[in-house]
Structures are given as C-alpha cells and as structure tokens.
Amino acid sequence: NAGVTQTPKFQVLKTGQSMTLQCAQDMNHEYMSWYRQDPGMGLRLIHYSVGAGITDQGEVPNGYNVSRSTTEDFPLRLLSAAPSQTSVYFCASSYDGTSGGHYEQYFGPGTRLTVT
C-alpha cells in the first residue's frame, strides 16, 4: 500500500492564481481531511469528507473548495491564491473500525505552498 499520497511536494503561486492540491489514499478509508499547518498554530482543519459525495467545512474553509467523487481521491482547490494561504498542507484519511479498532488518521507527506 502506498498509503496517503500528495502532489505536488512544493508549489509557488502568484497572488490570484488558482491550483489544485491532489490527495489519494489506497486503504479504502471512508474519512478524509485537509489541514494546514502554520508555525505556532498546530494543524487547522480546512475541509473534510465522510464518504464519496459528502463534504463539510472545517475551521478555516474560506478560499478553498473540495469535492470527493471517489473514495480514493480528495483534491483541494485554491480558488484565488493569497499570501495568507502560504502554508504546509496535509491530507489525512481514517476509518472507524469495529471493536475499537483504528480511528487514527494516516497523513500524507504534505505540500509546501508559497504564495507571492
């Protein structure tokens, strides 16, 4: 299993440009999330999904869109990049197993985004 993969690893955008961060998992997990990590602020939830076709907003959703057409893929779209979106972005997946199994999240390696 590849686990959770993210592309690209690094990206530089100019203000106003748009782009899509890709996330895929091959573990058949039902739940997927996008976080951003900023110094001193921990991980903040942007959007999450509880299954194909179902998404919801997290703590900091403004400026980002998501969709989930398949169980495997959960892309994050930046509509019009701003310098405040300079951050490291992590995708994670999980599932709630029976009998107390699992629940923990599996994280991708991250995408480091700089907006100038």
Partner 1 sequence: AQSVAQPEDQVNVAEGNPLTVKCTYSVSGNPYLFWYVQYPNRGLQFLLKYITGDNLVKGSYGFEAEFNKSQTSFHLKKPSALVSDSALYFCAVRDSSGGYQKVTFGTGTKLQVIP
Residues that bind partner 1 (CB under 8 A): 4, 30-31, 33, 35, 40-45, 48, 50, 58, 90, 92, 96, 100, 103-110
CA atoms within a 13 Å half-sphere pointing along the CA-CB vector of 49? 26
- In the complex, minimum distance from the CB of residue 89 to partner 1, in angstroms, rounded to a whole number: 11
State which residue, 17 or 67, has the beta carbon closest to partner 1.
67
Alpha helices per DSSP H over the chain:
none
Beta strand 111-115 with 10-13 is parallel
How many C-beta neighbours within 10 Å does residue 75 have?
A: 16
State which residue, 57 or 80, has the beta carbon closest to partner 1.
57
- In the complex, minimum distance from the CB of residue 108 to partner 1, in angstroms, rounded to a whole number: 6
**Amino acid type, 43:** L
Residue 48: strand, helix, or coil: strand
State which residue, 14 or 98, has the beta carbon closest to partner 1.
98
- In the complex, minimum distance from the CB of residue 53 to partner 1, in angstroms, rounded to a whole number: 15
